[in-house]
Amino acid sequence: MRRSTTLLTRTVTAVLLLLALTAVPALTSPAAAAAPDGKTLLRTTTIRSDDGKVLPARTYRLANGYTETVVDPAAFQALLASAASSDPCGFVCDGKDPNSYGVLGMNGHTYLCANDAFSPKTLNNGNSTVELRYSPRCRTAWTRGCCYVNFAGFGYWGNGAYRNAVYAWGQNSRIKVWTAMLNDAGLLYKACQDTQVGGSPEWQCTGLY
């Protein structure tokens, strides 16, 4: 009788445990969490600016299978607030090389726009990567990438109207190339790479920034 009671107790306990487990909703892994615009969050990460600042970022898988890494917007705004420039260079920076053109800092020193640059958006299609580069001090944006790929950057006014474009031809180069800068203070910019070999360009672009 004791054995029957014990067996019955164990059976009831197992059934109750199974019911409890099936009643618990499935937990979504943070690495597979749904995000807006059909994107899937793959992981949280960090990126480093050229002057050593570490910024939180997230990597998403896009609906087309590409991955895009995006810096946290709050961290970006904090970086802008701390930029050591008395005034962004504005439209004077259009068409200038970020690695040779600079602005005057509040301490009286001149800084190259590339010195504090970071990549708030990076797009990877599995074969090549394009970076949207940004200088908080100069408030400018440009495109950088590698290798054997042509690159472009498209600038827009705040209302979304097209403003200007810059290009870098890297199709026959095995080194990293970059475009000239465009003013991005209160404006919009996207970085693009051409996946078409010959013929009209087929641009794959980051989101606007």
Cite the beta strand spans of 97-161 per DSSP E. Answer: 102-104, 110-112, 118-124, 129-135, 140-146, 150-156
Distance CA 183, CA 91 (A): 5
Cα angle: 142, vertex 99, 128; to 5 degrees: 50
Entry pTM: 0.80
- The strand pairing partners of 104, in sequence order, are 110
Predicted confidence (pLDDT) per residue in 128-152, tens digit = 899 999 999 899 999 999 888 899 9
Mean pLDDT in residue range 120-130? 93
DSSP state of 105: B
Distance CA 59, CA 70 (A): 6
Q: What are phi and psi of 157, to 5 degrees?
A: -70, 170
Banded model confidence at residue 35, pLDDT cuts 50, 70, 90 = low
Give which of 130, 129, 94, 97 is closest to 114, Cα–Cα. Answer: 97
Amino acid 21 reads L
Give which of 46, 47, 37 is closest to 207, Cα–Cα. Answer: 37
Distance CA 100, CA 111 (A): 9
Please answer whether residues 56 and 72 qualify as being in contact, where contact means their C-beta atoms are separated by less than 8 angstroms. Answer: yes
Banded model confidence at residue 14, pLDDT cuts 50, 70, 90 = very low
